[in-house]
Structures are given as C-alpha cells and as structure tokens.
Amino acid sequence: MEEDPVNLREFQELAKRKLPKMSYDYISGGAEDQFTLRENVEAFQRIMLRPRILVDVSKIDTSSTLLGHKMSSPILVAPTGSQQLAHPDGELATARAAAACNTIQVLSFASDYTLEEVASSCDAVRFFQLYVFKGRDVAAAVVQRAERNGYKAIVLTADTPRLGRREADIKNKLIIPMNRNVEGLMSVDIHTTGGSGLEAFASKTLDPSLSWKDIEWLKSITRLPIIVKGVLTAEDAIKAVEVGVSGIIVSNHGARQLDYTPATITVLEEVVKAVSGSVPVLLDGGVRRGTDVFKALALGAKAVMIGRPVVYGLAAKGEDGVKRVITMLQKELELTMALAGCPTLKDITRNHVMVPHQKPRSLL
Ligand SMILES: Cc1cc2nc3c(=O)[nH]c(=O)nc-3n(C[C@H](O)[C@H](O)[C@H](O)COP(=O)(O)O)c2cc1C
Ligand SMILES: CC(C)CC(=O)C(=O)O
C-alpha cells in the first residue's frame, strides 16, 4: 500500500519517487548555488515562538479575508507554471482542491490549462498571475481575458526580467510545454541546441524593459486590483504603494531567480513597516509548517502563499494530494494557534515570536 504522508516534507519525498528526474529537478530546484533555497526554509527554523498560556482556546478561528474575499485560512496557492509536469490534471486539479479548501488559487500565466479552462472547472475566487512579454499586446489580451473570465486580481510578477540560472534544468535539457495562454497570440520557436528549453523560451519572450511606469499602463487596461510579486526591500515597497498597487507579495520566487537574496521571512518586517498598513503584505518562500504561517503572521503578513508543496501534493496524489497539503497546513496552523494561546488571527502579535539577529548561519 502506498504510504500516507504526515507532513509537507513527506509529500516532497513521495513526489520525488514518482516524478521523472527532469520534472522533479525543475520543480524543486533553485538558482545557481541554491543558497537562498536553503535559507528560505532555514530562516523560519531560527525563529522561536513565545506562547501564552491559560487562554481559552476551545474555539479557534483561522478564517481570513484578502481584498474583501473570504478564505478559510490565510494560506493561498502560489502561481506555479506547467503543472502537467507533475500530473496530467495539472491546474484543473489544483483549482478544484483550492476551491474545496476555500482558498484562493493564483493561476500562473504559464499554466498548461488555459485560464478559460481553469475558470470553467469550478466556482471559486481566483487571481491571475501575469508575465509581461515583449510587445505589450499579448499581456493586454491575456489580462482582458482574465478579467472577462472572473479572475479577481492581477498578480504582476516583477522579479523575472530574465530567467534565473537553474543549473539542473540546463543539465537535464529541460523540455517545457508551450504556454497555452498565449496560443494563437504569438509563435515562438522553443527548439534549443541544448540547455534549458525554459531558458530559451524565456529569453525570447520576457520583456526586460518592464519598469515602474508600466504599472500605469497596466492600470489603464484593467479595472482589477494589481498585486506586485517579488518585493524584497522597503524601497520597492514604498514605490509600489506610490504607483497605486493594491497588495504586495514579499517573494524571491522560491529562490529560483536571484541567488543570495535574503530569505523572505527575514525581510518581511522591513516591508510591513515601510507600507504601514496601506496595503496588505503577503509572503511566499519556504513555508512548510503551520508554525511558519504563524511566524509570518506575527511579523505582519496578511497571508502566505505556498508554491512547491502544492505541486508535490499534485504529483503525489493529484487533486486529493493538493487538498491534503492545503488541509494539513491549515490544521497545523490551527493547532499552533491553540498551543500559542491565539484563538483568532488578530490575537497573533509580534510578541509571539523571537527573531534572532538576522545573519544567515553560514555567514556566522
Ligand atoms: C515549479 C515552479 C514554477 C513556478 N512558476 C511560477 C510562475 O509561473 N509565476 C510566478 O510568478 N512564480 C512562479 N513560481 C514561484 C512561486 O510563485 C512562489 O514564489 C514560490 O514557489 C514560493 O516558494 P516555495 O516553493 O518555497 O513555497 C514557481 C515556482 C515553482 C517551484
Ligand atoms: C518563467 C516561468 C514560465 C516559470 C517560472 O516562473 C519558474 O519556473 O519559476
């Protein structure tokens, strides 16, 4: 009988056994030395909790809202491309699992099912993640389709003017399916003479000239709120608020872009302070435990997103695997809140965590 993972790490192990090496390496890997990949997880492990005792925790409420949308917990599904590498049902399975768990899926621009197919798969609140390609007409057409199909926000990924150097993908000569959302809008020759097929595609399509002034353009083509993903500094957080975004995601793209950026949890507080409550701040990168979610909330995040764990759940057990990953994390958060003396999310404060002097262990 197939084993039943009891935590998110065991889902990763199961996914590793089930997936071809090329797919597993693409999903699990990070950029270059993968220093930040390790840091994203380890920085959470350096933060300790300060639980309060003798609080009535007979009822725990994990429910939350984001931009006015209700969620059963502050845990969202991060955008991850090409989910058919993990399972044939890909983003459709993820959409149904997220809906069943009452949470928001951020659909990747690079999804293997089109945004229309995902929208008609089930009824749910979902957001759409945008990459801006050279020649803005493709992005404009896709954003308008997302709006027409009921997506409730645009998540602009801003940390990928070019693709980070992912050495496993280069060695494996990664083959990536053609982006379905741009079918009929553009044609790109993705044949390579070697190396990563994703890198070949990205270098032909991504627009490295995208800049802050383009938020104005994005606002001119959609009425949807814009959330910027990839903020790591107070300076950029302030800029994002100035140009009128509706939300910020502290993210280093799961350590797949610029290596030696800090773990996201170590810069969260800086960003939260810089925006002083004007817009919600989310975080992704390395969230693997309910205690991690709790720590991020204590440091000011409105919610967190999980990337790889969802894809591992999908690879391990399809739609049911994704459901179990999300539910597992929600239940761990609920238990953490009970054991820390926080019956509601509002009860989680900065005083519930002890943050060490932020120096990566390997630099001490
Ligand atoms: C396989 C994979 C594909 C991804 N594809 C996208 C994408 O298409 N767009 C995007 O904005 N981020 C993408 N990301 C980054 C995630 O949205 C997220 O920032 C990251 O996975 C969070 O870190 P975690 O995997 O440690 O949870 C991808 C990440 C992975 C692992
Ligand atoms: C560049 C995208 C197509 C995929 C992505 O964001 C990723 O692999 O991290």
Q: What is the pLDDT of residues 138-171, one digit of tens each?
A: 999 999 999 999 999 999 999 999 999 999 999 9
Determine whether the annotation assigns residue 62 to a binding site: no
The amino acid at 55: V
Model pLDDT, residue 364 = 47
Mean pLDDT of 98-112: 98
pLDDT > 70 fraction of the chain, expressed in percent and rounded: 97
Extract the tokens encoding 274: 């810089």
- Looking at the DSSP assignment, which residues form a beta bridge with residue 303? 282
Cα distance between residue 11 and residue 313, in whole Å = 6
Q: Separation of 53 CA from ligand 1 center, angstroms?
A: 37
ipTM confidence score: 0.99
pLDDT in tens, 11-47: 999 999 999 999 999 999 999 999 999 999 999 999 9
**Ligand closest in space to the Cα of 161:** 2
**Spatial distance between the Cα atoms of 198 and 111, rounded to a whole number of angstroms:** 13
What value does the mean pLDDT take over residues 225-234?
98
What distance in angstroms lies between residue 79's CA and the mean position of ligand 2's atoms?
Answer: 9
Q: 352 an active-site residue?
A: no
111 sits in the region (left: phi over 0; alpha: psi -120 to 50; else beta) called beta
At residue 363, does pLDDT exceed 60? no
Nearest atom (ligand 1) to Cα of 251: 19
Give the distance, in angstroms, between the CA of residue 53 and the centroid of all CA atoms in the same chain: 33
Q: Is the model's pLDDT at 361 over the cut of 60? A: no
280 lines ligand 1 (CB under 6 A): no
Nearest CA to ligand 2 atom 3: 110
Nearest CA owner, ligand 2 atom 4: 81
Residue 314 has pLDDT above 90, yes or no: yes
Q: Is it the case that residue 348 has pLDDT exceeding 80?
A: yes
Residue 318 assigned ligand-binding role: no
Q: What is the pLDDT of residue 187?
A: 82
Q: What is the pLDDT of residue 3?
A: 80
How far apart are the CA of 300 and the centre of ligand 1, in A? Answer: 22
Average pLDDT in the chain? 96
